[in-house]
Structure 1
Amino acid sequence: MPNSTMQVSRPYIRPESIRSLDPTQKIDSSVSTTHIVEGLAEHTVTIHLKAKKSPGPVHIDWYVPLVDIAGKWHPTIGSDRSLTSGWTQTIQNYATYSAPVYSLFSAQSENRHTFALSDAINPTGIRVQVEEDDATINCRIVLFDSPWPEIDSYRITIRIDERALPFHKAVASTADWWAKMDAYTPAPVPAAAYDPVYSSWYSFHQELSDQAIEENCKWSKGYNCKTLILDDGWQTDDSNKGYDYCGDWEVATSKFPDFKSHVAQVKAMDMRYMVWFSVPFVGKKSKAWHRFSDRVLPKAFKPAPCLDPRFAEARQMLINCYRDALIDWNIDGFKLDFVDRFTAEAEVQSTQETADMVAVPAAADRLFTDIITELRAIKPDVLIEFRQDYIGPAMRKYGNMLRAHDCPNDALSNLVRTIDLRLLAGNTAVHSDMVMWHPEESVERAAQQLWAILFSVPQISVRKGVTPAPHEGMLKNFMSLWVERKELLLHGELTPLQPQKLYPAVHAENAEEHLVAVYQDDYVVQLPELSTPKLTLINATQKPKLYLEQATQKNTYQGTVHNCLGETMGHISLKDPAGIRKIQIPASGYALLSH
């Protein structure tokens, strides 16, 4: 049961919670608290400096009783959701990296304390740690710990949600809060953003040719892919997976002798065409390096130097690049990569130009605002993909596709990352990392790569002529099933269970169908009383059985059991009485039921 004390809006943020770390920096601070509903409050903090200056670090601290809290979540958390002690690191957030939100939840996946910051552009730090002395959790916000322009005051709102909601709903309500702010109005999402994608990356890497891409586009059309993303390699004859030649963005004619004609060939197949760019990189072997070598960020060149967006000419060079590509090649969109490398940095001096901005994240925000304004003026429904971890409310202003971070042949990571993305994405299309597997893999285990991405838009990156016939049959069956349930899977009521256990089961429901996918062997699924006409059970495990704890059903559900190829393997009926029962479904198989 929820702890009732956790539903009261406590006065966590007080003026004494705010302190400057610089003894020479004198500040005045005030806090205004608005109670939205029981358990939900917004604390607006105003900090006044004694004079207009670049501020030094400021901490805001509060303490949460460690009562019925079992785990934590934030957008870049990875797989360890356990509570941690005093060695906890500060998590960085800024326009092009992560999002300033943090959630503490119970063992039953219920929200206990979710907080978020209104400033998702400028760098902020979040540190949350267990205080073993008194069994509390210290929540800390770190402000001004990077270069800032001169200011005399600053205002930020800290939203604290302790309502007894499912954890994922508390996180989703944070995304809704941001989306209603003028500063973070999400980009429109065209229907095309929800269509399956064929990606060249894992299937080809940099070994590209126009003929091979065209052949695989035609092949992937048979699996319901409607968009191509041409990844890294189109711009260079160097195939060592490095970035030495990034920055010029000239087509490698040895691979694509007539790129515009090649794009037209693919689009004639009724497929859209998107092209990859690593936005900040200027390789040392590029012509652009000689022009901009004194306008790059002062960091180690791994994997390549990064343009400094605080310089107007650097920003304009990128804007011109994407505008010209959109017009000259008649493409449909861009995969804009590595934008999280626009990190907060010290001042850079150039002999050619004076920077017109101080903070890198704010300059990156201006860069992308100008890019998207220019591109949408040409093609209003232009597709823009960003990759985890640049997935916050600022990035939703520009991008309409958010993809899971690279996890080749790793089904569990693809599951966790796509579900994590769904929590904050609102209506922005969430895409899987590109799906691949070894051709000698069993068809059942290869199918698990696909079941893992069920609740996102599939990106496929296997290759014609390499994929065995049984795998092709499995892929075709999965993609047909996904397309048939696209509305349910992407826009239905999503209920991911037990984030601390990496989502062993995920439910989706709309008026027509209830679907549950099980990802953990021997997990007991609690099946609620259902009213939908259809029920789908997905066994995304390696065992040929599922366990259901069934509530009493008014209706009898019955139907067919299928293997991952779609072949019918038997029949099934779910009747009273309620209780736990074992159901025989093949590994990576599924059951389709109705009443």
Structure 2
Amino acid sequence: MLLEDHDVESLEWTRLDGVSNDLDVDIAVSGGCRIERIERRGALDVVRIVTEGAGQIVLQTPLGNASGFWNPEFTLAPALPADWRGHESFSAVKSAPVGVLTDIDGTSSLAFGFDCVVDEGVLQFGASEESKSFVVRLGVSAELARRRGAIDLAVVTSRPPYEEAIRLLSDFLHGGAGHRPISRTATRPVYSTWYAYSQAVSARIVEDEARMARELGCRSVFIDDGWQAFGDGRWYAGCGDWIPDTAKFPDLRGTVDGLHALDMDVVLWIAPLLLGVQSAAYEDLRRFAPLHSPGLRADVLDPRRREVRAHVAATCARLVRDYDLDGLKIDFLNNAMVYAGTPSDGDIDDVGRAMVALLREVADEVDAVRPGTLIEFRQPYVSPAVAPFADVIRADDCPADADQNRRSIVDLRLFAERQIVHSDPLMWDPTAGPDAPARQVLNAFFGVPQLSMPLGSLPASHARVVAELIAEWEGLRDTLLGGELFAALPAEGYPIVGCRREDALVVAAYQPRVLELALDGVATLSIVNATASTSLPYALAGDPVRGILRAPGTEPTPVVLSGRGFLDVPAWGVVHLDLAG
């Protein structure tokens, strides 16, 4: 239906042969779009498409044995959407025009990325019922054609594992744009107030929870929504002043100083584009916020206005300076998209371009106040266009959904470049057994874990498990955050995930699947068992390997790994094998 609905007869098709015999990709253009050249750049074919007016760019490949389609929207849509369902808007603060069609064996049969990662646009994709193929369409509006003049499309020329294909496209789209230096705070486990207390947060709560969080291994506190004046009622009609609610935080700077004395970094939440009618700033700023977000019960400042960008940057810098903050959690940036396609009376006419300018100003002014400040973004503002302005990218909200947290972390790790990935804050039922917190922490292992539970009422068994697993994470941090990630079976939510850094390898099982182990050059193998099973199957490539198994609460034990077998690993636990050279 996708092609049939968009004048398929007008398309002019060109074959992309790639470098492998089984790559079968066709590209077509129509309207004001025409292919100027196709250039081989390493593992990519880069197609330059001149945009002289409105038109469309279409990719098509045989469906084959496809099992899923990866794209940066990170939604829970069907793994392999129909072409009448796959639909994604994008801009600098919402997703990106990138996708990888994954075969059942984990290879990529189509991997593509358009370099229009700033401007507003719409990508359509899905399995065609009529042709039994997979189709991708980028509609090129007259505005997009005018702004760009040309679009570069990168297509991976072979069928590598899908994670390699994602990295190739990520490198192409980031294009040497630079990155924000990684702050110390970015790599430290977090205590977040959000799921624990929502907006009912106070200085006393933060101070008490921080002491307990530090004993569990956290080294930073993220004070979320609720610290600010009018920060009650769950919605955002009070946003705009960004001053403390003095009933909750009579001395916010004193609270921050106290947390610093505990060796806890402090990050403050802000949603700087939201403007509520309760705020004192409303009358002065309302002319810059003509559109309303009913779901948030707040107006949205238009970033296409120079005054808005200056106000947001100055506000962020003021908070860092006045309260000696270690970082800012900047939220609801994607709500700027309410202005997509609307006339602008500002100095910039495109929301994406305006947001790039705004976030650059924020980063520059914050750095002028305090170099090395953490800036956190979250899904869905994952575009390479804004990546240089945040050192942390966080998984989108998924309260208590450990599996979705893992999927989001892995997706972000594969696509992000030189950013630290954080989990969505971890929460669970405090009346459940200790397996509940273990499952949450272990599913966040390949990012920086953020805890968010009322710790004063946490059962001792839960606290013990959390502390033990955070200690394990700390011991593996360099490998988990700095190693090369691999993940199996994306269509099934990554049941096996691993990371290797030099001679250290971490492999995690989230379902009792076979661990495919290649241990050449590995000195330390750590196995994370995030299942209820106490025995994990493995298949070893190469010769038998001897080692010493170290597990909590037991004496070191000699083991031999050979061919196929089973390895005893405590349920919801971690073991380490020191392998003989």
Return the TM-score normalized by structure 2: 0.91
Residue 434 of structure 1 corresponds to which residue in structure 2? Answer: 425
Structure 1 range deviating more: 374-383 or 235-244: 235-244
Deviation string 1:120-179 (CA, Å, 9 cap, x unpaired) is 10012221222233322222112227xx49948611100001323211111012222223
Of 33, 42, 66, which aligns to 2:38?
33
- In structure 2, C-alpha distance between the alignment counterparts of 1:116 and 1:457, rounded to whole Å: 28
Task: Confirm or deny: 8 A CA contact 2:23 2:159 kept in the other structure.
Answer: no
* Residues 572 and 498 (structure 1), Cα distance of their counterparts in 2 relative to 1, 3 Å cut: farther
- In structure 1, C-alpha distance between the alignment counterparts of 2:180 and 2:231, rounded to whole Å: 35
Task: Confirm or deny: 8 A CA contact 2:35 2:49 kept in the other structure.
Answer: yes
Q: CA deviation at 1:493?
A: 2.1
Residue 340 of structure 2 corresponds to which residue in structure 1? Answer: 345
* Residues 232 and 18 (structure 1), Cα distance of their counterparts in 2 relative to 1, 3 Å cut: same
Q: CA deviation at 1:73?
A: 0.4
Of 567, 570, 580, which aligns to 1:586?
570
Q: Residue 73 in 1 paired to residue 73 in 2?
A: no
Aligned length: 561
Task: Confirm or deny: 8 A CA contact 1:266 1:272 kept in the other structure.
Answer: yes
Residue 205 of structure 1 corresponds to which residue in structure 2? Answer: 198
SS at match of 2:386: helix
Residue 168 of structure 2 corresponds to which residue in structure 1? Answer: 173
* Residues 537 and 288 (structure 1), Cα distance of their counterparts in 2 relative to 1, 3 Å cut: same
Task: Confirm or deny: 8 A CA contact 2:231 2:239 kept in the other structure.
Answer: no
Residue 473 of structure 1 corresponds to which residue in structure 2? Answer: 464
Q: CA deviation at 1:277?
A: 0.6
Task: Confirm or deny: 8 A CA contact 2:66 2:104 kept in the other structure.
Answer: yes
Which runs of 5 or more residues in structure 1 are unaligned?
21-26, 50-56
Deviation string 1:559-579 (CA, Å, 9 cap, x unpaired) is 1344xxxx33x7665425412
Residue 409 of structure 2 corresponds to which residue in structure 1? Answer: 418
Residue 23 of structure 1 corresponds to which residue in structure 2? Answer: none
Residue 335 of structure 1 corresponds to which residue in structure 2? Answer: 329
- In structure 1, C-alpha distance between the alignment counterparts of 2:272 and 2:73, rounded to whole Å: 21
Query: How is 1:486-565 mapped onto 2 (pairs within 5 angstroms)?
Result: 486-520=477-511, 522-562=512-552
Of 366, 373, 377, which aligns to 1:382?
373
- In structure 2, C-alpha distance between the alignment counterparts of 1:232 and 1:363, rounded to whole Å: 25
- In structure 2, C-alpha distance between the alignment counterparts of 1:554 and 1:9, rounded to whole Å: 37
Residue 18 of structure 1 corresponds to which residue in structure 2? Answer: 29
Q: Which amino acid aligns with 2:533?
A: K
* Residues 11 and 507 (structure 1), Cα distance of their counterparts in 2 relative to 1, 3 Å cut: closer
* Residues 11 and 165 (structure 1), Cα distance of their counterparts in 2 relative to 1, 3 Å cut: closer
* Residues 28 and 58 (structure 1), Cα distance of their counterparts in 2 relative to 1, 3 Å cut: closer
Q: Residue 103 in 1 paired to residue 103 in 2?
A: no
* Residues 402 and 238 (structure 1), Cα distance of their counterparts in 2 relative to 1, 3 Å cut: closer
Task: Confirm or deny: 8 A CA contact 2:52 2:145 kept in the other structure.
Answer: no
Task: Confirm or deny: 8 A CA contact 1:524 1:549 kept in the other structure.
Answer: yes
Task: Confirm or deny: 8 A CA contact 2:293 2:300 kept in the other structure.
Answer: no
Query: How is 1:110-125 mapped onto 2 (pairs within 5 angstroms)?
Result: 110-125=107-122
Task: Confirm or deny: 8 A CA contact 2:113 2:173 kept in the other structure.
Answer: no
Residue 46 of structure 2 corresponds to which residue in structure 1? Answer: 42
Residue 133 of structure 2 corresponds to which residue in structure 1? Answer: 136
Q: Which amino acid aligns with 1:527?
A: L
Deviation string 1:371-419 (CA, Å, 9 cap, x unpaired) is 1111112222111001111112122121110000111111111111111
Q: CA deviation at 1:252?
A: 0.3
- In structure 2, C-alpha distance between the alignment counterparts of 1:524 and 1:340, rounded to whole Å: 40
Q: CA deviation at 1:474?
A: 0.9
- In structure 1, C-alpha distance between the alignment counterparts of 2:380 and 2:231, rounded to whole Å: 27
Q: Residue 355 in 1 paired to residue 346 in 2?
A: yes
Deviation string 1:18-53 (CA, Å, 9 cap, x unpaired) is 333xxxxxx36342110123x62000111225xxxx
Q: CA deviation at 1:4?
A: 9.3
Q: Which amino acid aligns with 1:588?
A: W
SS at match of 2:302: coil
Q: Percent identity?
A: 26
- In structure 1, C-alpha distance between the alignment counterparts of 2:506 and 2:294, rounded to whole Å: 47
- In structure 2, C-alpha distance between the alignment counterparts of 1:361 and 1:391, rounded to whole Å: 12
* Residues 149 and 103 (structure 1), Cα distance of their counterparts in 2 relative to 1, 3 Å cut: closer
Residue 53 of structure 1 corresponds to which residue in structure 2? Answer: none
Residue 24 of structure 1 corresponds to which residue in structure 2? Answer: none
Q: Residue 164 in 1 paired to residue 164 in 2?
A: no
- In structure 1, C-alpha distance between the alignment counterparts of 2:139 and 2:66, rounded to whole Å: 23
SS at match of 1:127: strand
- In structure 2, C-alpha distance between the alignment counterparts of 1:501 and 1:10, rounded to whole Å: 25
* Residues 577 and 301 (structure 1), Cα distance of their counterparts in 2 relative to 1, 3 Å cut: closer
* Residues 239 and 485 (structure 1), Cα distance of their counterparts in 2 relative to 1, 3 Å cut: same
- In structure 1, C-alpha distance between the alignment counterparts of 2:374 and 2:524, rounded to whole Å: 34
Task: Confirm or deny: 8 A CA contact 2:33 2:57 kept in the other structure.
Answer: no
Residue 399 of structure 1 corresponds to which residue in structure 2? Answer: 390
Q: Which amino acid aligns with 2:162?
A: F
Q: Which amino acid aligns with 1:131?
A: S
Task: Confirm or deny: 8 A CA contact 1:9 1:162 kept in the other structure.
Answer: yes
- In structure 1, C-alpha distance between the alignment counterparts of 2:227 and 2:471, rounded to whole Å: 31
* Residues 179 and 456 (structure 1), Cα distance of their counterparts in 2 relative to 1, 3 Å cut: same
Task: Confirm or deny: 8 A CA contact 1:296 1:305 kept in the other structure.
Answer: yes
Q: CA deviation at 1:8?
A: 7.3
Residue 254 of structure 1 corresponds to which residue in structure 2? Answer: 247
SS at match of 2:149: strand
SS at match of 1:342: helix
- In structure 1, C-alpha distance between the alignment counterparts of 2:305 and 2:83, rounded to whole Å: 40
SS at match of 1:102: strand
Return the TM-score normalized by structure 1: 0.89
Q: CA deviation at 1:446?
A: 1.8
- In structure 1, C-alpha distance between the alignment counterparts of 2:125 and 2:233, rounded to whole Å: 41
Residue 270 of structure 1 corresponds to which residue in structure 2? Answer: 263
Q: CA deviation at 1:68?
A: 4.1
Q: Compute the RMSD of aligned alpha carbons.
A: 2.4
SS at match of 2:367: helix
Which runs of 5 or more residues in structure 2 are unaligned?
1-16
- In structure 1, C-alpha distance between the alignment counterparts of 2:152 and 2:281, rounded to whole Å: 41
